[in-house]
Amino acid sequence: MQEAMQQLLVRQLQNQPSLKERLANSVEVMSEPASRAYFDKGRDDQRWGETVSGDNYQTHAKPKVYLNTAKWEANKAGEGWRDKAILGETIHQLKNIEPQMYTRLEDAALEHQPYVDNAKNAFFEGARKKQTQWDGSLAELKKFMDNPDFVNSPVFKEWHRRSRFDQVLGGYLQGGDPAIPTMRGDFEGGWNKDSRNSEMFASDKFGNELKRLAAALGL
C-alpha cells in the first residue's frame, strides 16, 4: 500500500505544470494588432513590452502582455525573441505564482550589501531622471538614503517590488542572450553575458536562490 501511494505521488508530481508553464498560463498575451495599437509610437516608444494588470484583482482577469514588435524588429531581435520576451514579462507574475520563492529571493537580495547599493543607486538615478516617484529634492533623498532604514521604507519597498526587482531577476536569467537586444550588451547600462558575474549576485544565499529559480525555469 505504501509503495502504491508513493508511485501515485510521483505520478502526480510529474504531471504538475512547470514553473515556466504556470507563469505563461497566468497572463494573456495580446494579439499583434492589439499590441501595435497599444504601442502607437512603435520603435520610438521606450518600452519593449508591458504587463498590464488593470482591475484583475476585481474581475479575476489575467494580466495582459503587450509586446512592442516594431521596437524588437528595429533592433534586430534574434530567433525566438517573442517567446523569450513573453517569459521576461511573466517574471512580473512570480510574486503571485510562487510568493514564497519570490520572498526568499528578495530577502536574500536585500541582505547582500552590494545588491542594496546597486538598488539604491538605481532609485536615485530614477528620481534624478524623474522616472521614480520622489516628491522631495535630490539632496533630501541623499540624506534619506544614508539612513539604514531606507530599504525598509514604504517608498523603497513599493518601488523595488513594482519596478526594480523583476528587472534584476530578468537580467540574471536572460543576460547575454543574443536574441534579446537589451540583454546582449547593445545598450549602455543594460544587461550582457557577464551579468551573472556581477558583484550584486555574488552572495551564497542570493546566488543559490537565483540558481534555483533558473533551474525551475529550465534556464
C-alpha distances (whole Å) from 100 to each of 2, 106, 113, 217 are 30, 10, 22, 16
Residues 6 or more apart in contact with residue 84 via CB below 8 angstroms: 174, 177, 179, 180
Locate 174 and state its grid cell: 536572460
For every one of its 219 residues, what pLDDT tens digit does the chain have, with 9 covering 90 and above?
A: 566 555 545 455 566 899 999 999 999 999 999 999 999 998 999 899 999 986 655 556 789 999 999 999 999 999 999 999 999 999 999 999 999 999 999 999 999 999 999 999 999 998 898 888 888 899 999 999 999 899 999 999 999 998 899 999 999 999 899 999 989 877 776 788 888 888 888 889 999 999 999 999 998
Side-chain-side CA neighbours of residue 47 (13 Å):
15
* Strand pairing class (64-67; 49-52): antiparallel
